[in-house]
Amino acid sequence: MKKLLLGIAGGIVIAAIGAGLMRYQSPDQVTRRAIEHVASEAIQASAHLDRVQISAADGTGLVTGFTVGNPAGFKTAAALTADSIKLTVELSTLDKGAIVVRTLWLASPRITYEENQAGSNFTALLENIRRGAADKRAEPGKKIVVDRLVIHGAKLSYASRAGQTITVDLPDIGLNNIGRTQGGATSSEFATAIVEVLLYHAKRNIPAGALQHR
């Protein structure tokens, strides 16, 4: 179960849903606890969600109140919060080597990019994910294919070392066919892809001259 890190937001959700649906008839509470535990352990930061609703009939799911905290050394409370995450899982793949997710939709997430003397919170998250992947490289685990991932209506807040905060709207972010060509992405590969795309868009949309670490 610990190997089922799918990273920020939707990634972690997918793995826990897969495990829950395969083992439990009513997976919602099991899934919620699994998401929080696996996320916190993997990224060395807190993770919390309010509620999970999963349909074992058609694979649709809704996660509400999802929050990923910052790694140690950062002042702001959270790196990412999302009021809702919608997804559709291909149920026939839950007992296969790679779980297939048809759609994964993050609505209006709030992203905080914070810098300290060592770098940014997102670079720290990346380091934690990669370190965890190296530590568990020999452990078997499910892979993930995501046909379509959309991050819609995101707001980015930049918190500088001087205490200045700038908030900007991010354009819609879309990723297609994650893990498709190689028969599935590992959990750490998926997590890394999500954090990297958020880091890329953060750096592109924070006003020129504001960033201290490029």
Q: Which residue has the tokens 């452990």?
A: 139
Q: Report yes or no on 151 lying in a domain.
A: yes
Structure tokens belonging to residue 72:
């140690």
Q: How confident is the model at residue 77 (pLDDT cuts 50, 70, 90)?
A: confident
Q: List beta partners, residue 163.
A: none
Question: Which helix (H) or strand (E) segment is 130 a member of?
Answer: helix 121-135
Q: Report yes or no on 2 lying in a domain.
A: no
Q: Report yes or no on 51 lying in a domain.
A: yes
pLDDT over 80 at 110, yes or no: yes
What number of other Cβ atoms are within 10 A of residue 213's Cβ?
A: 12
Q: Does residue 186 or residue 2 have the better pLDDT?
A: 186
pLDDT over 70 at 10, yes or no: no
Structural domain including 28 reads 10-205
| Domain count along the chain | 1
Q: Report yes or no on 211 lying in a domain.
A: no
Q: Report yes or no on 95 lying in a domain.
A: yes
**Whole-model pTM above 0.75?**
yes
Question: Which helix (H) or strand (E) segment is 190 a member of?
Answer: helix 187-205
Q: Report yes or no on 1 lying in a domain.
A: no
Quick: pLDDT tens for 115-157.
988 889 999 988 988 887 766 665 556 788 999 999 999 999 9
What percentage of the chain exceeds 70 in pLDDT?
Answer: 71
Q: What are phi and psi of 145, to 5 degrees?
A: -120, 130
pLDDT over 80 at 62, yes or no: yes
pLDDT for 153 equals 96
Q: List beta partners, residue 100.
A: 145
C-beta separation of 199 from 12 below 8 A: no
Q: Report yes or no on 210 lying in a domain.
A: no
